[in-house]
A = this chain, B = another copy of it.
Amino acid sequence: MTNIKDVAIKAGVSVSTVSRVMNNRGYISQATKDKVFNAMKDLNYQPNEIAKSLFKKKSNIIGLILPDISTPFYAEETRYIEEELYKLGYKLMLCNAYNSSSREQEYINMLLRNQVDGIIIGSHTLKIEDYLNLNLPIVALDRYLGDDIPIVCSDHIEGGKLAALELLNCGCTNILHFSGSLKVPTPSNDRHKSFNDTLERKNIKVNTVELPINFFSFLDYSSIIQEALDNNPDIDGIFATDTIALATIKELIKRNKNIPNDVKVVGYDGLSICALTYPTLTTIQQPIKDLSKEAVKTLINLINKKNSYIEKKIILPVSLKRGNTT
């Protein structure tokens, strides 16, 4: 690779002059500017960001740690995160931690060694102190990583309520609720509680089926859903995240249930793949793009320490997107 010295020689100036021209610093005559730009073009010069990072102690790289990028929700989120980072001149280093704490710790160490300027985490397998001790700008996606780490999430409480009200309005009286693992403290627990509370206040029975912690492979869905439906043959309403909801609908149709006549289903997420499935899922739409944008914005503010005050809890509104399953 050609370096700054090659450009300097070609242009007949010193390396510091080339650096100045590149970074548009100080006063340089138009004549030398032209010489330098021509040399750069002739040599097809690309400045070495590694050397720059070493000196500047800033890599402009952001680490993203997720449980599994291939899950539709994380895939969409990653898309928007990358897009926002790109606009701001940052690069994305992607890490799939698969909810393994050793894997997550290894990734964090790797990111530290690579001098990333900050990390966006949508995983939570370590202890709160471990995150704090990193001494690096961090933003959490829908996870509580301690009071000092900003969190970006949707309004789960409102979401749970909206879902409950939709099923109530449809006249459901025997409801099955697939909740995430309640062992890990995440904002979605608020959604589960809000959903159940809203229904119980109306004296509606809710059967909550708690899903295991590591539950990303769609192939694992079937047996758990089957068991839940076997145990609750008379349910007439279901609430679950979109992918679980879709898999449940599939199973219900196989069981000759008519949707929405026999059973109403409400999802949570608003995944774009819902545009491909029939019947169209009624779902609580998370603002995935805005969540991603806010996460990036908050992290970059943290890095720049631009705003003395950084919002620690960013909750974005959800909305009911009515389809044909209610």
A residues neighboring B (CB under 8 Å)? 1, 46-51, 53-54, 59, 61, 68-72, 75-76, 78-79, 82-83, 86, 91-96, 109-110, 112-115, 217-219, 221-222, 243, 246-247, 249-250, 253-254, 272-273, 275-278, 280
Chain B residues lying within 8 Å of A275, measured Cβ to Cβ, are: 218-219, 221-222, 247
Number of copies of this protein chain within its complex:
2
A250 to B280, CA, bound (A): 9
A95 to B71, CA, bound (A): 18
Known: A72-B75, A218-B275. 16 other contacts (CB 8 A): A46-B109, A48-B113, A49-B115, A50-B50, A50-B114, A54-B54, A70-B79, A75-B75, A91-B93, A91-B114, A92-B93, A93-B93, A93-B94, A217-B272, A219-B272, A221-B276
Q: Which of B50, B96, B113, B253 contacts A46 (CB 8 A)?
A: B113
Q: What's the dominant secondary structure at chain A's contact region?
A: helix
Chain B residues lying within 8 Å of A95, measured Cβ to Cβ, are: 82, 86
Question: How close is A218's CB to chain B, nearest CB, in angstroms?
Answer: 4
The answer to whether A79 touches B96, judged by C-beta atoms less than 8 angstroms apart, is yes
Q: Which of B109, B110, B112, B273 contacts A91 (CB 8 A)?
A: B110
The answer to whether B49 touches A78, judged by C-beta atoms less than 8 angstroms apart, is no
The answer to whether B250 touches A48, judged by C-beta atoms less than 8 angstroms apart, is no
Question: How close is A85's CB to chain B, nearest CB, in angstroms?
Answer: 10
Asked whether A47 and B113 contact (CB < 8 A) given A79-B69, A243-B276, the answer is yes
Q: Which of B70, B79, B109, B246 contacts A68 (CB 8 A)?
A: B79
Give 23 pairs: A residue, B residue, CB < 8 Å, sorted on A: A1-B115, A48-B113, A48-B115, A49-B115, A50-B50, A50-B53, A50-B115, A69-B75, A70-B79, A72-B72, A82-B95, A86-B95, A91-B93, A92-B93, A218-B273, A218-B275, A219-B272, A222-B275, A243-B273, A246-B277, A247-B276, A250-B276, A278-B278
